[in-house]
Amino acid sequence: MILKGKVHKLGDDINTDDIISAKYLVSTDASELGKHCLESIKPDFVTQVRAGDIIVAGKNFGCGSSREHAPLAIKGCGISAVIAKSFAAIFFRNAINIGLPFLESQDADKIQDGDSLEIDLSGGIIKNLSQNVTYQTPPFPVFLQEIVRQGGLMNWLKKNV
Amino acid sequence: MPTYSASASRSYSSKRNYIRDKKDIKPGEFIEARVDLALGNDITAPLAIEEFRKSGAVKVFDNKKIVLVPDHFAPAKDLRSANLCKILADFAKEQKIVNYFEVGCMGIEHALIPEKGLVSPGDLVIGADSHTCTYGALGCYSTGVGSTDLARAFVDGKCWFKVPATIKFVYKGKLNKWVGGKDLILFTIGKIGVDGALYKAMEFTGPAIRTLPMDDRFAVSNMAIEAGARAGIIEPDDITLKYVKEVHNVHQSTVHRRGLWTNLRSDNDAQYEKIHEYDVSKLEPQVACPHLPSNVKPVSELKDIVIDQVVIGSCTNGRISDLRIAAKILKGKKAKSGLRLIVIPATQKIYLEAVREGLAEIFVKAGGVFSTPTCGPCLGGHMGILTEGEVCLATTNRNFIGRMGSPKSFVYLSNPAVAAASAITGRITHPEAI
């Protein structure tokens, strides 16, 4: 799958309270959650996102609570993928399980806010169209690739029981 | 599958897996495993139930191995929270979930579940709540997962895991008065950072851990997630076994397994990714400053911080010994005029003990409020939300931007003794100053 979008750059340790504040956890609806994505730390974030845009962040993205509402809010506001230097473990599995595309890349620092990226998810290739460079990310483990390929954990389960 | 040699050098988590499944696991490997307990709360379980229904499943894998606790926004803080709580109640009724805890029986899940004897040393536990790592204090491999993971466990009782490498933390020396489990874990997170144990299991040991009472151990394991860890394990010892036996005796009817692996230990030559040794004999109470749990300073460096609110409670420090420490300091004293003191026992049992022992009276006479069990303010749910510019000292576990309300408020984290002392003075205060 090829994804294309403009970069919204974030820092290190973006936590799930940053991504979706607890006061909105009374909803389980992705589009409703999406309206408040990153509101506490970037009040204008949602209004600046166009469908398909990409979040690029530093280390430990998604640390904190287990709320799956966080990857849902990111999906719900139109973000197509997240690239970070590292992901917190629960966010990592939530993203896999609900099918939010993401890549771990040590080159995340080199990507600037507003850059245009083209991502080849299966190949783990990030093309920075603005800087005219390509970054290769390590491939996902086979087990996880399979869950992603089936469209998330519950679909994978249906085919593997 | 690769196996280790006869002298297997297994850390605690690898060894519990080996004893159970007769299979060696290696860090980095992906495995599927059957869980002993799967839990969810009023925020995470509704999503899991939605996914469970979408999957076409009609019956949960085992109605005794699922725990549902409405604790985050309960007693329901508003209409939408009431709807979430009702989803849990209806599902519990429909699926005959034995361990559903309605308001009145309910407590903060990570205090309630050990107290009810639902977790035993060696258990594999998942919870759609990040602080599920708390039961590592009993020698469980317990870890936080998402709602879809929980939904899948509802269906077939299994979960996928990436086997973590283990980092060992050895605490040497005898702890000072007013220093406890909360200080050990804050100190550690301060040293290694909020991703210092990312994807790893933390194993806590050494003389200072071995003499630590159970409630303090829960506080240590509880915050392993704040360093990014998948688990925070303390090998079971006599203190663990005494606790487990006591709760099991009280809750014969609900205990589905009993301390199977009471002799479970890491191998002497277990392989660790890293070993950190700390001499904690001179450690003073620790405080995490805004806006990360790793932004830790000794309490004596924060004398000038003026506070508007003190919260004593949560899955980290809402246990009876926490309330006893706070009451000891607050007895016969008043909270600073204009400061809000909010005390929240973590479970109904703790609530009742606090009433019987006269602790509740001490808090109320000190000008505090004594609340029904709830996660409430810890996550900015209800019962003590901060407005712009306000500062809170809490015995909770996170101090992210906006965690307890306004993105322009400030949360400091400490042990209950520091929280109680600071409630009296209105500034962050060392308990010895009272």
3-class DSSP assignment, residue A87: strand
Q: Torsion angle of alpha carbons A80, A64, B379, B312, nearest 10°? A: -170
Q: Which residue of A has its CA nearest to B164?
A: A89
| Chain A stretch 71-90, residues whose beta carbon is closer than 8 A to a beta carbon of chain B | 86, 88-90
Q: What are the chain A neighbours of B50 within 8 Å (beta carbons)?
A: 28
pTM given for the model: 0.96
**Interchain proximity A22–B400, CB inside 8 Å:** no
The answer to whether the CB atoms of B292 and A152 lie below 8 A apart is no
Q: Give the position of tokens 């307990």.
A: B37
Chain B residues within 8 A of A159 when measuring between CB atoms: none
**If you ran DSSP here, which 8-state letter would residue B177 be given?**
T
Using the CB atoms, write b or e for B350-388: b if 16+ within 10 Å: bbebbeeeebbebbeebbbebbbbbbbbbbbbbbbbbee
Query: A42-87: per-residue pLDDT in tens?
Result: 999 999 999 999 999 999 999 999 999 999 999 999 999 999 999 9
At residue B265, the pLDDT reads 87
Q: Looking at beta carbons, which residues of chain A come within 8 Å of B72?
A: 22, 25
Q: Is A28 on the interface with B (CB under 8 A)?
A: yes
Judged by a CB distance cut-off of 8 A, whether residue A57 touches chain B is no
What integer best gives the mean pLDDT of chain B? 94
% of chain A beyond a pLDDT of 70 = 99
B257 pLDDT above the threshold of 60: no
Query: Span B199-223, mean pLDDT?
Result: 98
Residue B247 vs residue A90, higher pLDDT = A90
For B198, the closest of A66, A88, A93 (CB atoms) is A88
Percentage of residues of chain B with pLDDT beyond 70? 96
Mean pLDDT of B63-81: 97
pLDDT score of B255 more than 80: no
Interval B361-418: pLDDT, tens: 999 999 999 999 999 999 999 999 999 999 999 999 999 999 999 999 999 999 999 9
pLDDT band with cut points at 50, 70 and 90 for residue B3: very low
d(CA B48, CA B46): 5
Band of residue B260 on the pLDDT scale cut at 50, 70, 90? low
pLDDT recorded at residue B103: 97
Q: Which residues of A touch B127 (CB under 8 A)?
A: 66
The minimum CA-CA distance between A18 and chain B, rounded to whole Å, is 7
What are the pLDDT digits (tens) for B304-331? 999 999 999 999 999 999 999 999 999 9
Assess contact for B420 and B325: CB atoms under 8 A. yes
Question: What is the rounded distance in angstroms from the CA atom of residue B149 to the CA atom of residue B145?
Answer: 6
Q: Do B395 and B317 touch, CB atoms closer than 8 A?
A: yes
> What is residue B253's predicted lDDT score, i.e. its pLDDT?
52
Does the structure show a pLDDT above 70 at B254?
no
Regarding predicted confidence, which is higher, A141 or A119? A119
Torsion sign over Cα A152, A157, A160, B1: positive
Contact call for A66 and B144, based on CB within 8 A: yes
| Contact (CB<8Å) A89/B228 | yes
Cα–Cα distance for residue pair B269/B10, rounded to 1 Å: 8
- Give the type of residue at A81: A
* Virtual torsion, Cα B167, B171, B172, B178, nearest 10 deg: 170
Is the CB of B145 less than 8 angstroms away from the CB of A22?
A: no
Is B54–A154 a contact, with Cβ atoms under 8 angstroms apart?
yes
Query: Which CA distances in Å does B347 have to A39, B69, B103, B314?
Result: 33, 11, 10, 10
Pairing of strands B231-233, B274-279: unpaired
Q: Cβ contact (<8 Å) for A17 and B78? A: no
Tell me if A89 and B199 make a contact (CB, 8 A cut-off): yes
Q: Are strands B286-288 and B99-100 parallel, antiparallel or unpaired?
A: unpaired
B315: helix, strand or coil: helix
Nearest to A64 among B78, B152, B398 (CB): B398
Contact, B222 vs B397, CB < 8 A?
Answer: yes
pLDDT digits (tens, 9 = 90+) for B141-160: 999 999 999 999 999 999 99
Q: Do B30 and A141 touch (CB under 8 A)?
A: yes
Residue with tokens 């979430």: B84
pLDDT of residue B8: 63
pLDDT surpassing 70 at residue B423: yes
Any B CB within 8 A of A116 CB: no
Contact A26 B80 (CB under 8 A): yes
Tell me the ipTM for this assembly. Answer: 0.97
| Best residue of A90, A104, A150, A155 to probe chain B, by most B CBs closer than 10 Å | A90
With CA atoms as reference, the chain B residue closest to A141 would be: B30
**Minimal CA–CA distance to B373: which of B57, B18, B74?**
B74
Chain B residues with CB-CB distance to A15 below 8 A = 398, 400
pLDDT value of residue B4: 33
**Reported confidence tier of residue B1, pLDDT bands at 50, 70, 90:** very low
Cβ-Cβ pairs closer than 8 A, A with B, add up to: 134
CA of A1 to nearest chain B CA: how many angstroms apart? Answer: 23
Burial annotation B137-163 (CB, 10 A radius, 16+ → b, else e): bbbbbbbbbbbbbbbbbbbbbbbbbbb
DSSP at B347: B
Q: What's residue B236's pLDDT?
A: 93
Rg (CA), chain A: 15
Nearest CA to B139 among B38, B192, B44, B209? B209
Q: Which of B46, B55, B144 sits opposite A154 (nearest CB)?
A: B55
Question: Chain B residues with CB inside 8 Å of A59's CB?
Answer: 195
- Confidence (pLDDT) at B5: 35
Residues in A closer than 8 angstroms to B407, CB to CB, are 40-41
Confidence grade of residue B179 (pLDDT, cut at 50, 70, 90):
very high
Average pLDDT of the residues in A116-130? 95
**Mean pLDDT across B261-288:** 92
d(CA B146, CA B158): 13
Can you give the pLDDT at residue B261? 59
CA angle A159–B3–B6, rounded 5-degree value: 150
Determine, for residues B400 and A17 on separate chains, whether the beta-carbon distance falls below 8 Å.
Answer: yes
Residue B113 identity (one-letter amino acid): I
Euclidean distance between CA atoms B415 and B396, whole angstroms = 9
Set of chain A residues whose Cβ sits within 8 Å of the Cβ of B228: 60, 63, 88-89
Distance from CA of A158 to the nearest CA of B (A): 8
What SS3 state is found at A124? coil
pLDDT number for residue B2: 31
Residue B151 DSSP one-character state: H
B221 contacts B232 by C-beta, under 8 angstroms: yes
Residue B259 has pLDDT above 70, yes or no: no
CB-CB neighbors (< 8 A) of B147 in chain A = 66, 68, 94
Question: Which residues, numbered 88 to 107 in chain A, qualify as contacts with chain B under a Cβ-Cβ cut-off of 8 Å?
Answer: 88-90, 93-94, 97-98
User: Residue B91 carries which side chain, given as an amino acid letter?
Assistant: F
- Tell me the C-alpha distance between B3 and B273, whole Å: 18
Here the tokens at position B302 are 């924060």
- Averaged over A26-54, what is the pLDDT? 97
Query: In chain B, what residues touch A144 (CB-CB under 8 Å)?
Result: 30
- Residue pLDDT, tens place only, B4-59: 333 468 888 888 887 777 788 899 999 999 999 999 999 999 999 999 999 999 99
**For B321-371, what is each residue's pLDDT tens digit?**
999 999 999 999 999 999 999 999 999 999 999 999 999 999 999 999 999
